[in-house]
Amino acid sequence: MSTVNSLLAAISGEGRDAKRGGYSRPVYSDAEITLREWFIAEASVRGLEVSTDANGIIWAWWDLPGSAGDDASRKGSLVTGSHLDSVPGGGAFDGPLGVASALAAYDVLAAREASGELVRNRALALAVFPEEEGSRFGVACLGSRLLSGAIDPVKALNLRDAEGNTFADIAAANGLDPARMGRDEKALARIGDFIELHVEQGRGLNTEQYTDAAGRGPAVAVGSSILGHGRWRLSFSGQGNHAGTTLMIDRADPMVAAAQLVLKVREIATAQPDARATVGRLEPVPGGTNVIASRVDIWLDVRHPDDAVTALLVEKIHGQAQKIAAFEGCSVVLTEESLSGTVHFDAALSASLERSVHRLVPDAPALPTGAGHDAGVLAAYLPTGMLYVRNPSGISHSPEEYVEDADAEAGVLALADALEDLL
């Protein structure tokens, strides 16, 4: 039986990023494809029936004994899983921990069924969702958004990566039929409940209210809610020109405008309780040391528990961007790329998760998170819930993201118990 740690060790060499550090595994890159193949091989060797659906989601089915494995017998099944793509220079656990834990939890449950300890009433599927981070095509949770119909497939197919490839082209190159992508009623009907285990991405489990005398928090938490969040692109346009011949007073430099806005974003978000706003990506065009840029695109990520406040924050930032652009002789255009409202996980499912997890981790708290997940997108369509595994560094989307082996093992057992109670 593989352990979650041996499963993660097997993929630890894939997609390492020598320049940024950590891992860069954008969807349908060589590294992510290798990880998808790894998952398919691990599921197949366990005798699970594996298929990739029209939206690129991989499903590995543990059907009920004697069942035909058809749509009727799989309706309302229990599903667990996560994603294998990463942010640029990300950590080893965001996504892969949930996928490896799903495989390891299956191993625990299969052994319990073989010993007669577990009798199931429904099938279990392990799932891998593509482009959860949106780090290649810009929209996070693209697989679950397509599956549920939360995004118009035409919009999704026209998204472009940094090289200008459309999502349609890349999907087709990976064996998918763009014409078939979009809301999938049959696949949705097969999901009765979805549970996603994930590395905790902040200091939630390390806060004083949860830590013991040694300063150690519980290994696992149950998710309660996800902060509303969205992404916007602000394009500042000015006059591209020569760095040496253009007098300072003659410039319309969009980089100077963008730099001022970055500071305003911090000021505006700091003044609003519970708000988070980030500029993590900036692209000057054409991008030369001795060239005044003609355009600078910056990407804005804004999060707040109250969706109306999120909208207000973006409005304020846009207003400041317009003022700054005018002062600098530039113009600015704001484009919304994605928006997800605050999500509260299904109350009955979360209560069931808490009861199950408390058998193993009696002090496991219910935790909100500021990070987005496929379980958040799917929550609008079916009952979803999440488990988080302690991250001692509290750091994520960085090579320093960390999970201790013992906590990862505890996460698997907690997930297995939670799944058993729902099967």
Under the rule (CB under 5 A), what is the footprint of Mn ion? Answer: 94-95
Nearer to ligand GLV, 237 or 369 (CB): 369
As measured in angstroms, the least distance from the Cβ of 397 to Mn ion is: 6
Please identify which residue in 35, 78, 92, 140 interacts with ligand GLV, judged by CB under 6 A: 140
Given Mn ion, ligand GLV, none, residue 140, with its beta carbon under 5 to 8 Å by kind, binds ligand GLV
As measured in angstroms, the least distance from the Cβ of 287 to ligand GLV is: 25
Q: How far is CA 110 from the centre of its chain?
A: 28
CB burial of 199-228 (b: ≥16 within 10 Å; e: otherwise) equals: bbbbebbbeeebeeeeeebbbbbbbbbbbb
- Spatial CA neighbour of 259 closest among 239, 291, 234: 234
CA angle 295, 278, 88 (to 5 degrees): 80
Report whether 277 contacts 264 (CB < 8 A): no
- The residue type found at 206 is N
Q: List Cα–Cα distances, 228 to 198, 248, 302, in angstroms.
A: 18, 41, 8
Per DSSP, the residues of 37-88 read HHHHHHHHHTT-EEEE-TTS-EEEEEPPTT---SHHHHTTEEEEEEE----T
Joined tokens for residue 62: 């543990």
Nearer to ligand GLV, 103 or 140 (CB): 140
Given Mn ion, ligand GLV, none, residue 407, with its beta carbon under 5 to 8 Å by kind, binds none
Given Mn ion, ligand GLV, none, residue 95, with its beta carbon under 5 to 8 Å by kind, binds Mn ion
Given ligand GLV, Mn ion, none, residue 199, with its beta carbon under 5 to 8 Å by kind, binds none
Nearer to ligand GLV, 123 or 367 (CB): 367
As measured in angstroms, the least distance from the Cβ of 83 to Mn ion is: 6
Backbone torsion region of residue 134, taken as left when φ is above 0, otherwise alpha when ψ lies between -120 and 50, otherwise beta: left
As measured in angstroms, the least distance from the Cβ of 301 to ligand GLV is: 7
Given ligand GLV, Mn ion, none, residue 420, with its beta carbon under 5 to 8 Å by kind, binds none
Given Mn ion, ligand GLV, none, residue 372, with its beta carbon under 5 to 8 Å by kind, binds ligand GLV
As measured in angstroms, the least distance from the Cβ of 372 to ligand GLV is: 4
As measured in angstroms, the least distance from the Cβ of 386 to Mn ion is: 10
Measured distance CA(157)–CA(159) in Å, rounded:
6
- Spatial CA neighbour of 201 closest among 355, 16, 391, 21: 391
Nearer to ligand GLV, 133 or 328 (CB): 133
Nearer to Mn ion, 26 or 95 (CB): 95
Measured distance CA(386)–CA(384) in Å, rounded:
7
CA atoms within 13 A on the CB side of 95: 31
As measured in angstroms, the least distance from the Cβ of 396 to ligand GLV is: 7
Please identify which residue in 372, 385, 394, 411 interacts with ligand GLV, judged by CB under 6 A: 372
Using CB under 6 A as the binding criterion, the count of chain residues that bind ligand GLV stands at 4
Q: Which residues bind ligand GLV (CB under 6 A)?
A: 133, 140, 371-372
